[in-house]
Amino acid sequence: MKILGISGSPIKDSNTDRALKIVLESTSLKSEFIKLSDYTIGPCDACLACIKTNRCIKKDDGVMLAEKTYKADAVIIAGFTPYSSLDSRTKTYMERLYPLRHRHGLMADKPGAAIITSAIPHGQEGMLPAAEIGIQAIKNFMIEEGMKFIGGVSLLGNVPCVRCGQDGQCQMSSLKMLHGPDATPESVGINDFENDPQKVAELQQLGEAIMNSLY
Ligand SMILES: Cc1cc2nc3c(=O)[nH]c(=O)nc-3n(C[C@H](O)[C@H](O)[C@H](O)COP(=O)(O)O)c2cc1C
């Protein structure tokens, strides 16, 4: 048994990456962690060359990633939510699994799960529910491919503004947009999901649920 974990986060050792690693470890099975920003992968060109072969003709890492995904016994997809929708790397990766669909439904019955890290606190007035939108995007992909959606966990991450060093001078501060006009990087702080034991438990339970779905 081998579980594949895909992270769309380009940030080094991000909340997204660390959360995915907890789920992978909690399956107690052999696993592989893939960070999409380490690879070159472009979107599906809708050329339909994959219809008869179930293989993409593009010359990039999308072909290898689709093959790894096909061979994995379960797949966990972890993304984040720039502009309150699923990040482009994670979306591109899912599009490039399109070749596995035709005629045979090669992803059918494979267990899958979602992790989303977003910076908008749950229920924030006037903002789109970014976490739900991200989870739904991954869930919908899995359901359309006939996979078994096991579950999703959403986590609070960090707006890039908390680290940019320009907050005092910036007219576009997301910190102030989300936390009010007096918010500063110091008052908001860096959010590490590990400080929330309930979230860590949810991630561990998701890993265990994936393992149980395979036996
Ligand atoms: C260009 C850009 C736009 C972003 N816009 C949003 C947004 O609209 N909503 C949101 O929840 N987070 C937004 N974020 C923040 C990411 O969701 C945040 O970085 C995420 O929590 C990843 O955190 P992590 O690095 O701790 O894993 C944005 C990030 C970037 C880089």
pLDDT in tens, 14-35: 999 999 999 999 999 999 999 9
- Phi/psi of residue 107, nearest 5 degrees: -100, -5
Q: Which long-range contacts (CB under 8 A, 24 or more apart) does 176-185 make?
A: 178/119, 178/120, 178/121, 178/124, 178/127, 185/161
Angle, vertex CA 29, rays to CA 203 and CA 17, nearest 5: 40
User: Which residue has the CA at smallest separation from atom 30 of ligand 1?
Assistant: 82
Q: pLDDT category, 110, cuts 50, 70, 90?
A: very high
Distance 87 CA to ligand 1 centre (A): 9
Average pLDDT for 71-84:
97
User: Which sign, positive or negative, has the C-alpha torsion 159, 76, 13, 189?
Assistant: positive
Q: Which of 6, 17, 81 to mutate to test the pocket of ligand 1 (most atoms within 8 A of CB)?
A: 81
pTM as predicted: 0.96
pLDDT score at 121: 81
Letter string b/e over residues 177-215, b meaning 16 or more CB atoms within 10 A of that residue's CB: bbbeeebebeebeebebeeeeebbebbbebbebbbebee
Domains detected in the chain: 2-160+191-213 (3.40.50.360)
Q: How far is the CA of 112 from the centre of ligand 1 (A)?
A: 23
pLDDT in tens, 144-184: 999 999 999 999 999 899 999 987 788 999 998 888 889 99
CB 69 less than 6 A from any atom of ligand 1: no
Ligand 1 centroid to residue 129 C-alpha, Å: 13
Given a cut of 90, is residue 120 above it in pLDDT?
no
Whole-number Å distance, alpha carbon 126 to ligand 1 midpoint, is 17
